[in-house]
């Protein structure tokens, strides 16, 4: 005969075993997330003449079906589907492609059976596409951009593991509501913060001073922080009806620079000019009159910096209030251009545009 305490222990063990079995069965039954891979080209889809060809290869040759087939492990972590949106090297990415891509992403994310999207992309302009989508995607579902620094045919190609980690992240609950992400080299970065820092090495994407959001390690994403800037569903931008974006150009600054570029942009009808200034966005004497003239013609001028880190301080190196210029905060010139284009779809009021630069 069992004593009453022994019976209680046995009963508790039975309940525990039952609960564990039920939890396991529930876990086993949970469907894998549905993650769609939208391919746009780049080195991740590139091929070289030999396995040691890591420069001088051809980008954008492998189609999305073969990209997916080359990583059979994807089938264990997601129900993946593929779509070839473009097949280009990312130096050829432009406003028209961004509008097409954003509309497609929004349409797919509106489908209840889609849990997340991965976009394969060349690394050269990946940060720009990522930030554009960060501002115009209207969903909290994960959107992850991924590329590779070595073509698919190279020894130690980084594309397959990057793609695997991107799909893991896009299918995860942890990535929901974090804005558009860039996953490469086992690291997760925010679209707004990240930039390409090295021409050839696989650890090229960095959020220089602000740092990574997290890592993909041990078959799952680990997040430690998130951006405080508004994105996706919390922005005021809507591309659903747009067929084109306002013309915004970047004028780069260097010792001995003159007004030629700014004057040419004004003559060509630009609606906005991003001044990629030296230091804290300083205005060289030879350039300032051209920018003042641009502003007098109604063109919105944004002072950014070519330095790559830090804030361009309003009314610091120039009297922005008097000049009626906008400062880029800590956006690099190529991202300031994107925000200015989207801002100009809503307003040309420089006070409102400055507010947007402090918001997104």
Q: Is 270 in the site for ligand SIN (CB under 6 A)?
A: no
Give the 3-state secondary structure of 167-185: HHHHCCCCCCCCCCEEEEC
User: Could you tell me which stretch among 117-125, 184-192, 216-224, 328-336 binds ligand SIN (CB under 6 A)?
Assistant: 117-125
Which position among 90, 195, 253, 332 is part of the footprint of ligand SIN (CB under 6 A)?
90
Which position among 71, 85, 117, 149 is part of the footprint of ligand SIN (CB under 6 A)?
149
Here the tokens at position 193 are 């913060």
Which position among 36, 38, 39, 59 is part of the footprint of ligand SIN (CB under 6 A)?
59
Q: Is 183 in the site for ligand SIN (CB under 6 A)?
A: no
CB of 74 to ligand SIN, least distance (A): 20
Radius of gyration of the chain (CA): 24
User: Could you tell me which stretch among 28-36, 119-127, 262-270, 312-320 binds ligand SIN (CB under 6 A)?
Assistant: 119-127
Q: Is 124 in the site for ligand SIN (CB under 6 A)?
A: yes
Q: Is 157 in the site for ligand SIN (CB under 6 A)?
A: no
Q: Is 259 in the site for ligand SIN (CB under 6 A)?
A: no
Long-range contacts of 310-319 (CB under 8 A, 24+ apart): 310/209, 310/280, 312/277, 312/280, 312/281, 313/280, 314/354, 316/280, 316/281, 317/277, 317/279, 317/280, 317/281, 317/282, 317/283, 318/281, 318/282, 318/283, 318/288
Q: Is 152 in the site for ligand SIN (CB under 6 A)?
A: no
Give the angle subtended at the CA of 14 by the CAs of 13 and 15, to the nearest 5°.
90
Q: Which of 40, 43, 129, 169 is catalytic?
A: 43
Catalytic, 43? Answer yes
**Pairing mode, if any, of strands 79-88 and 34-41?**
parallel
Cα–Cα distance for residue pair 212/13, rounded to 1 Å: 44
Q: Is 159 in the site for ligand SIN (CB under 6 A)?
A: no
Cα–Cα distance for residue pair 151/298, rounded to 1 Å: 45
Here the tokens at position 279 are 């230091």
CB of 272 to ligand SIN, least distance (A): 25
CB of 60 to ligand SIN, least distance (A): 6
The number of helix segments (H) and strand segments (E) in the chain equals 11, 14
Q: Is 48 in the site for ligand SIN (CB under 6 A)?
A: no
Element at 38 (helix H, strand E): strand 34-41
Cα–Cα distance for residue pair 326/188, rounded to 1 Å: 30
Which position among 116, 142, 147, 202 is part of the footprint of ligand SIN (CB under 6 A)?
147
Q: Is 116 in the site for ligand SIN (CB under 6 A)?
A: no
Which position among 33, 116, 122, 259 is part of the footprint of ligand SIN (CB under 6 A)?
122
Q: Is 89 in the site for ligand SIN (CB under 6 A)?
A: yes
Binding site for ligand SIN (CB under 6 A): 42-43, 59, 89-90, 122-124, 147, 149
């Amino acid at each position: 005969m069992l004593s009453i305490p022994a019976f209680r222990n046995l009963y508790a063990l039975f309940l525990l075993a039952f609960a564990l079995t039920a939890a396991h069965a529930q876990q086993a039954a949970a469907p894998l997330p549905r993650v769609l891979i939208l391919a746009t080209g780049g080195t991740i889809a590139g091929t070289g003449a030999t396995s040691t060809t890591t420069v001088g290869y051809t980008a954008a040759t492998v189609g999305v079906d073969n990209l997916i087939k080359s990583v059979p492990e994807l089938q264990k972590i997601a129900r993946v589907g593929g779509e070839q949106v473009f097949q280009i090297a990312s130096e050829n990415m432009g406003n028209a492609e961004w509008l097409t891509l954003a509309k497609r992403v929004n349409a797919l994310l509106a489908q209840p059976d889609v849990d997340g999207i991965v976009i394969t992309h060349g690394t050269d302009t990946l940060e720009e596409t990522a930030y554009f989508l960060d501002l115009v995607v209207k969903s909290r579902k994960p959107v992850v951009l991924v590329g590779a620094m070595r073509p698919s045919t190279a020894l130690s190609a980084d594309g397959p593991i990057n793609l695997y980690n991107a799909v893991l992240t896009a299918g995860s609950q942890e990535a929901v509501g974090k804005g558009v992400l860039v996953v490469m080299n086992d690291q997760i970065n925010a679209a707004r913060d990240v930039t390409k820092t090295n021409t050839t090495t696989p650890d090229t994407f960095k959020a220089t001073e602000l740092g990574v959001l997290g890592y993909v390690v041990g078959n799952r994403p680990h997040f430690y922080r998130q951006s405080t800037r508004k994105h996706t569903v919390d922005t005021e931008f809507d591309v659903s009806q747009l067929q084109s974006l306002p013309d915004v150009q970047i004028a780069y600054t260097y010792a001995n620079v003159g007004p030629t570029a700014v004057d040419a942009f004004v003559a060509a009808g630009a609606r906005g000019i991003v001044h990629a200034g030296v230091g804290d966005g300083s205005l060289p004497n030879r350039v300032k009159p051209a920018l003042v003239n641009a502003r007098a013609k109604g063109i919105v001028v944004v002072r950014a910096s070519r330095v790559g880190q830090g804030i361009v301080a309003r009314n610091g190196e120039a009297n922005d209030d008097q000049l009626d210029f906008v400062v880029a905060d800590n956006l690099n010139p190529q991202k300031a251009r994107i925000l200015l284009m989207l801002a100009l779809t809503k307003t040309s009021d420089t006070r409102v545009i400055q507010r947007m630069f402090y918001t997104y």
